[in-house]
Amino acid sequence: MRLKSRNRTVTALLLIAPFVICYLVVFAYPVYKMFAMSFTNAPLIGEGEWIGLDNYIRMFEHKLFYTSVYNTLYFVLLTVVPNTLIGLGIAMMVVRLKGWIQAGILVLFFMPYILPVTVVTQIWQWVLDQQFGVAQPLIEAIIGRRISVFRDPVWAMPMVALVTIWWTNGFNVLLFISALRNIPDDYYEAASLDGASRLQQFRRITWPLLWPVTALVLTLQLILQLKIFDQIYLMTQGGPFNSTYVLLQLVYREAFGRNQGGYASAVAVALFVIIVAVSVLQYQLLKARGK
């Protein structure tokens, strides 16, 4: 009996060993090094001297750090909830379709999600180009003039948010459609017999049963958008006038541009703490809302 139990233990350890090794090598060790380097004056590659909290003191005295935090949170505000609501709305419309029409519409909405970020940014830089962009007549009709949106401090961040929503929304649509398909039709038939309107059916049936998936989408979106970098780097480079400068761009500049690995690690630690804190807070709020 003991030999059988021991064999099971050994088998279990062998099965989980690859995951544990990958986790330690790919995640745990880099996180440890990030925290360790943040207390040194190390360059990007190599060791440095221990300087205590100097990097963190410098970070909190750095005006660009506060600008980056503000811009990152502003981007989150522009994308997380709108992206979730748009995905839910599209899913509720698409799920009513049938057959090849539904499949075709799903392909159209999901296609941008599989595109690399470089292709996405090239498409939208062409669409929004001030001289030749196909969207400029619409912008001119609304506000009376053409605008170089990625060079305007007011328009730059909302346009990056718009591109991000267009690019990533297909994944949210698929999650919501899967959740909607799992709601039994019997619930809606019984509600219709009781005289419930479409709005009442949504409030009393659809929304409560969709809440776990909605919470998942909100959490995933929050974590992803707090780590915004690619679109900013390719479309605005943090400008104009630092109006789109985000935390990961500050990490990139200090680490790869100025070879200050210690200070870049301190900023990365700050971003890590922000992501953990905001994610935990959002999880608790969503959990309380679910109850």
One domain, residues 6 and 94: no
Look up residue 47 and give its DSSP letter.
Answer: -
For residues 271 and 72, what is the distance between their CA atoms, to the nearest angstrom?
A: 10
For residues 166 and 169, what is the distance between their CA atoms, to the nearest angstrom?
A: 6
Q: Is the peptide bond before 240 cis (omega within 30 degrees of 0)?
A: yes
Domain count, the chain: 2
Residue pair 159/165 in contact (Cβ under 8 Å)? The answer is no
For residues 218 and 212, what is the distance between their CA atoms, to the nearest angstrom?
A: 10
254 is in which domain, residue-wise? 54-290
Q: Confirm whether 39 is domain-assigned.
A: no
One domain, residues 18 and 149: no
pLDDT of res. 2: 65
Q: Is the pLDDT of residue 176 over 80?
A: yes
One domain, residues 18 and 102: no
Token pair, residue 100, equals 């090849």
Q: Confirm whether 272 is domain-assigned.
A: yes
> What percent of the chain has a predicted confidence (pLDDT) above 90?
48
Report pLDDT digits (tens) over 30-85.
889 999 999 999 888 888 899 989 999 999 999 999 999 999 999 999 999 999 99
Token pair, residue 90, equals 């599209």
Q: Confirm whether 38 is domain-assigned.
A: no
Residue pair 109/173 in contact (Cβ under 8 Å)? The answer is yes
Confidence of residue 4 (pLDDT cuts 50, 70, 90): low
Residue 225: CA atoms inside 13 Å, Cβ hemisphere, count? 32
Q: Confirm whether 48 is domain-assigned.
A: no
Report pLDDT digits (tens) over 90-136.
999 988 888 888 888 888 888 999 999 999 999 999 999 988 889 88
pLDDT of res. 146: 87
Report pLDDT digits (tens) over 151-165.
999 999 999 999 999
Rounded CA Rg of the chain: 24
pLDDT of res. 228: 92
For residues 65 and 72, what is the distance between their CA atoms, to the nearest angstrom?
A: 11
Query: To which H or E segment does residue 211 belong?
Result: helix 207-226
Q: Confirm whether 153 is domain-assigned.
A: yes
Is the pTM higher than 0.75? The answer reads yes
pLDDT of res. 289: 65
One domain, residues 149 and 28: no
For residues 119 and 107, what is the distance between their CA atoms, to the nearest angstrom?
A: 18
Q: Confirm whether 69 is domain-assigned.
A: yes
Confidence of residue 191 (pLDDT cuts 50, 70, 90): confident
User: At 268, which CATH number?
Assistant: 1.10.3720.10
Q: Is the pLDDT of residue 287 over 80?
A: no
One domain, residues 129 and 28: no
Q: Is the pLDDT of residue 221 over 60?
A: yes
For residues 22 and 227, what is the distance between their CA atoms, to the nearest angstrom?
A: 22
Token pair, residue 281, equals 């807070």
One domain, residues 95 and 231: yes
Q: Is the pLDDT of residue 291 over 80?
A: no
